[in-house]
């Protein structure tokens, strides 16, 4: 169980650490959107305004940052589910604790077990 706890904490920290990258990407898109608004108010064409802020690059940067954060968050959740299993939680317990449907909890538990090659099942009474 201690190994599961360490793994869950490690994966959770990796997700938390990525907030800085995500915030930076959001801030840069906000700055670019403000510049586009100001350029349009100043009479620039949309093409000129978007080119001035490298709109495709900003969009790609934000999309990539969101996708990476989501991957890390999902890894963290799966590791937390494995920790819950090791602590005796059932799929129903996890559904209540995470505020998700029992079906989704079951899918996540199964994904977590596949991720780690576990064979233990979360049983519901």
Nearest partner of 7 among 81, 58, 67, judged by Cα: 81
pTM: 0.76
Residue 116 — very low, low, confident or very high, per pLDDT cuts 50/70/90? Answer: confident
Rounded to an integer, the average pLDDT of 23-33 is: 96
The pLDDT assigned to 118 comes to 53
The pLDDT assigned to 27 comes to 97
CB 109 within 8 A of CB 94: yes
Rounded to an integer, the average pLDDT of 97-116 is: 90
């Amino acid at each position: 169980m201690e190994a599961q706890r360490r793994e869950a904490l490690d994966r959770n920290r990796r997700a938390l650490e990525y907030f800085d990258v995500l915030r930076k990407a959001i801030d840069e898109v906000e700055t670019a959107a403000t510049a586009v608004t100001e350029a349009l108010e100043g009479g620039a064409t949309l093409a000129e305004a978007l080119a001035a802020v490298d709109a495709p690059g900003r969009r790609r940067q934000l999309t990539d940052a969101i996708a990476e954060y989501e991957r890390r968050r999902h890894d963290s959740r799966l590791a937390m589910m494995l920790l819950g299993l090791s602590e005796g939680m059932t799929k129903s317990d996890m559904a209540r604790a995470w505020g998700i449907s029992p079906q989704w909890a079951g899918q996540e538990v199964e994904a977590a077990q596949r991720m780690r090659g576990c064979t233990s099942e979360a049983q519901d009474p």
